[in-house]
Structures are given as structure tokens and as C-alpha cells.
Amino acid sequence: MTVPLVLLDTNVLVAGLRSRNGAAFRLLSLVGTGHFEICLSVPVVLEYEAVLLGQLEQLLLAASDVCDLLDYFCSVGKQHEVHYLWRPYLRDPKDDLILEAAVAGNCESIITYNRRDFRGAEKFGVKILTPGEFLKRIGGL
């Protein structure tokens, strides 16, 4: 049985780091355990870093915590180079970089709380799921 390869939208990281309750935190706690693999690209990691460092006070984290998390993601994630840009395809260019990495990595799903922002991604064979929906699929709830 193959484990699903997914790309986590930045809002899932923010939600999971803001609260230890909920599907996003559960999903983050399963990264690197073999239940699924995460897909990364340089632009995605830079997006994660910029957003998380910009919200340190709300997340109650130190910058070093964010760096440690991203280092861990980079050590366990599947890194892919994006050779073809699909921009502009979605309404938000930051969502385009998520879609591009998911397509380049041949991901099964993008995990997000903003499903409507990825309307049309199914054209590329990528499912758009919330953290709760994905956890149910993998038996992680």
C-alpha cells in the first residue's frame, strides 16, 4: 500500500500551531510517521517561513521554533522542483505556488481550509481536502 503524498497549505500550519485541539494539530503531529508524506518546494517552504515568522506572537512561538519545524519538514518531506509555472491560474498567486508544487510532486491532495481558493485544481488531478477529511481517509482521527 502506498502512502499518500500531500501538500499542506500554509493555513493548515497556522491553525495547527495556534491550537493543540483540532484536525490541523493532529495532522501536523502525524508528519513523518509514515501515515502520509508531505511534498515541499523551495517557494512553499519560503511561504511557510514568511507567514509563520510574521505571526510569532499569535502562535506563541520563538523564531527558532519555526526554523526547527521547517528543518524537520525539510528532513522528512519529499522535495520537488517546479519546472513549469501554471500562473496565473488561481485567484491568489500564493495559492498558485501551492498548486504548482502539488502538480510537480504528483500529489494526491492539497490539504487546506480554503477549498474555494483552489477551485479548478481538480483539472490537474489534485484533490482538495480539509485536514479533517484527509485524516478520515487515512484513519488518523
Q: List, for residues 68-87, the tens digit of each pLDDT value.
A: 999 999 999 999 887 665 55
The CATH superfamily of 5-135 is 5'-nuclease (3.40.50.1010)
Q: Which strands form 37-40's sheet, in the order they lie side by side?
A: 78-79, 37-40, 5-8, 109-111, 127-129
- Which residue, among 50, 56, 53, has the nearest Cα to 18 in the 3D structure? 56
Counting every residue, how long is the chain? 141
Which pLDDT band, with edges at 50, 70 and 90, does 95 fall under? confident
Residue 4: Cβ-neighbour burial (10 angstroms; 0-12, 13-18, 19+): middle
Q: Cβ of 62: how many Cβ atoms within 10 Å?
A: 10
Cα torsion 60, 75, 40, 22: sign: negative
Task: Out of 4-18, 29-43, 52-66, 81-95, pick the least confident.
Answer: 81-95
Instruction: Tell me the whole-structure pTM to 2 decimals.
Output: 0.92
pLDDT for 131 equals 98
